[in-house]
């Protein structure tokens, strides 16, 4: 392999990795559509009629902590809003059934047990607030696209 070929390969590696990172970043915190009417089966999660953030975390996940802090703030500020954090280590079947591909993944579940929104990755606070407001007002979840 010539020096030029090595330099080209290294540059290609850096560019490809950067593109991969940009793609990942653009998909972070995406809100998935949740127009279903089916009740979620979430064993061990007490909704108590409240709109609840069900956050899936793992002990090795750094972003889970900031997400938990945000959701704690939101649930403390709204009496009708709850926040439950589940460690995927303790709920592998649930993680598989709900196809959790990354932590944090957060489900916004209505008091009736119906999924209102799903946040894949650490979603920006403004997106989470938007979805919470929609869920609380009972209107259709507007944003099914990218968070930013």
Partner 1 sequence: MTAAGLDPRGPRFGAGITAALLLVAVGLALPTASAVPATVAGRAAQPAFLLAALLTALFLWGALAGVGRHPWGLLFRALVRPRLGPPAELEDPAAPTFAQAVGAFVMILGVVLHLAGVPWGLAGAAAAAFVAAFLNAVFGYCLGCQLYLLLVRSGLVRGGSRPRQP
Binding site for partner 1 (CB under 8 A): 1, 5-7, 9-10, 13-14, 17-18, 20-22, 24-25, 58-63, 65-66, 69, 87-90, 92, 95-96, 100-103
- Pairwise CA distance, residues 58 & 63, whole Å: 10
Shortest Å, Cβ 42 to partner 1: 17
Q: Which is nearer to partner 1, 31 or 88 (CB)?
A: 88
Alpha helices in the chain (DSSP H): 3-27, 63-77, 92-97, 125-137
Residues 6+ apart with CB under 8 A from 94: 42, 43, 86, 100
Shortest Å, Cβ 11 to partner 1: 10
Could you tell me if 126 and 29 are in contact, meaning their C-beta atoms sit under 8 angstroms apart? no
Q: Which is nearer to partner 1, 110 or 121 (CB)?
A: 121
Q: Which is nearer to partner 1, 9 or 146 (CB)?
A: 9
User: Per this entry, what is the length of the chain?
Assistant: 148
Shortest Å, Cβ 48 to partner 1: 26
């Amino acid at each position: 392999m010539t020096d030029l070929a090595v330099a080209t390969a290294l540059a290609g590696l850096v560019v490809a990795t950067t593109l991969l990172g940009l793609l990942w970043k653009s998909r972070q915190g995406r809100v998935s559509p949740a127009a279903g009417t089916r009740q979620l089966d979430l064993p061990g999660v007490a909704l108590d009629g409240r709109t609840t953030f069900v956050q899936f975390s793992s002990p090795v996940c750094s972003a889970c902590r900031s997400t938990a802090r945000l959701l704690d703030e939101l649930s403390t500020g709204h009496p009708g809003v709850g926040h439950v954090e589940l460690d995927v280590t303790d709920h592998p079947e649930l993680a598989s059934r709900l196809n959790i591909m990354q932590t944090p993944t957060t489900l916004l579940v209505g008091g009736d047990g119906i999924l209102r929104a799903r946040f894949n990755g650490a979603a920006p606070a403004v997106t989470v607030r938007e979805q919470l407001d929609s869920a609380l007002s009972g209107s259709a979840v507007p944003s099914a696209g990218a968070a930013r």
